[in-house]
Structure 1
């Protein structure tokens, strides 16, 4: 479900030089005015509590960046753990819509509570607030204070033209790990709303995806998909078919991987619409052919041709094995002497610079041992017990001058 925050991680800022230098006078910080103190107190005011009393909703809002399915989001306090969380609200347009979908919504939310993954924003609790004129579904999620990946990319673009390749690989691996976990659930959970706005980065580089938006929620809330600013992240079949598969997440991930590589995909002027020509141009600007191939596979128009998240984790663009260690492993598996490693290393100078798949990714023929037929005698010899040998006596006498 949705769990958003807007605080930005600290990044370097460009410093402009001024010539000639001008002396400045440092002024002491002014004390907070009464209006500012009152505004701060208003934001921390408790507006509502959960039925169990554990979560307290504050007035301070959390910007959801127009994420579909979330109508309101507020900062809240977990009184049991003493940490800040996000209080998300989904407003159903009509009460009868919720009644028709109540069991399905309950099943989806029960599954989301069970999710436990390092790279997925934690989903804590949900409940329904049913009244005569409105129906709300409220759910509590982890608060990500470090900001979204989109914000981080914008700040990075100010000082760099492209993203560091190692950082790109780490981010892609973490996102794919989370998607592989979601898609392996029974039944599979489709994120359905994967963009750089719904991916969060912490100060230590940890990536977490949030805003899991099942169609059970999206199709029955007042927030319309037409309001979104990131339509290019959605697969072509989204909305064209009755039921989508996990392949829609792979397409969205491919767009995220492209935006992470080029930092920003140019939109059409003042409009937020990103054309297919702009996407193709961004792909062609990538210098690494493996990176281009990796993204192009994710953006296949035919969903059946897109690889799974697990398969992408072992793509050569991400998976890298030090060449010498890999050759040593091959020598051990094949039963060769380790002294031959240096010779094999020279022969493999043309190997892929990113290494190859691990040994488990391809089958290696095991040497077949010659089988010897066991000859059985038709006569079974009787079992005879061997006599127990008598204990040997130890010599304790000493020899002196050749005599005992």
Structure 2
């Protein structure tokens, strides 16, 4: 169906419908990147809001590898079903071949990086709950058959439903599906979050654990790891020689620092997601149900733990 105003009988108008007429896209733009735009949409059958991801295929005319990564992300999403991994509802190419569209769950509060920077005074318990859910998602990916290695885990690729605190891992465009050896060889990702062995192009799913440790560090300090570096080459040199981000020195709580260091250890010593879920770092959660998160209420001033070095 071509773009047009379609009355949704609810006071607003859709500007586009999917070929089946089930999903209607509003004008509201939720996010935009170099290749993809995400709009607020509505599922008429289930009566829920969703995210309409719209990609102009002409943008990939000179970048076939990026188009391959996009199709890979959607194909991977289609096979995954977990509360902490963004789910895919449907996908299609427009009738004129101009756009590639796919419908996913909606996270109205955006990515975790932006959410954390907006809310600078959260308790350490809240950060532990976010971290716990990320690990649940990683454990699912890493134990999936076949194993899925994200390879680009960072706070801007992790999303949150702010009203419930539910965390979901997304942006699987650089993910790799590996066989029973669990070994991959391509050097892909964001340098500040890449494990040393990823640069050497011989690694397994534990590279995601390294990136996860840096995500926890970012949630604590509200700053991007290695922001003291002036370029990618400097980041690379520090990572492969084992120099930690300066932000780690500003983490005061010994158990928190120990947990992050455990994630950043050598591959042979680095724990799996399942092992980290049993770490004493999460003891404070006291068996709370982190699969279906409850809203995180504001801590009383006398109980709030200072975790924001930048605030």
TM-score with structure 1 setting the length: 0.53
Alpha-carbon distance in 2 for matches of 1:295, 1:78: 40
Mark the runs of 5 or more structure 1 residues left unpaired by the alignment: 1-43, 217-224, 323-404
* 1:260 matched to 2:200: no
* 1:182 matched to 2:141: yes
Contact 1:268 1:274 in 2 (8 A): no
Q: Secondary structure at the match of 2:204?
A: coil
Q: Which residue of 2 aligns with 1:401?
A: none
Q: Which residue of 1 aligns with 2:194?
A: 234
Alpha-carbon distance in 2 for matches of 1:282, 1:95: 38
* Structure 2 residue corresponding to 1:93, chosen from 39, 55, 60: 60
CA deviation string 1:127-170 (max 9, x = no partner): 23486xx664321111111233222322333xx4xx52322221
* 1:48 matched to 2:16: yes
* 1:122 matched to 2:82: no
Paired residues in the alignment total 256
| Structure holding more strand per residue | 2
Contact 1:247 1:304 in 2 (8 A): no
Contact 1:94 1:135 in 2 (8 A): no
The alpha-carbon deviation at position 238 of structure 1 amounts to 4.0
Structure with the greater alpha carbon radius of gyration: 1
* Structure 1 residue corresponding to 2:167, chosen from 195, 207, 227: 207
* Structure 1 residue corresponding to 2:259, chosen from 277, 294, 298: 294
Q: Which residue of 1 aligns with 2:208?
A: 249
The alpha-carbon deviation at position 255 of structure 1 amounts to 0.9
TM-score with structure 2 setting the length: 0.67
Contact 1:192 1:213 in 2 (8 A): no
The alpha-carbon deviation at position 215 of structure 1 amounts to 4.6
**Aligned-pair RMSD on alpha carbons?**
4.0
Q: Which residue of 2 aligns with 1:137?
A: 100
Quick one: structure 1 residues 126 and 235, their matched pair in 2 at CA, closer, same or farther if it must change by over 3 Å?
Answer: farther
Alpha-carbon distance in 2 for matches of 1:83, 1:246: 34
* Structure 2 residue corresponding to 1:315, chosen from 279, 282, 305: 279
Contact 2:213 2:261 in 1 (8 A): yes
Contact 1:171 1:207 in 2 (8 A): yes
Q: Secondary structure at the match of 1:260?
A: helix
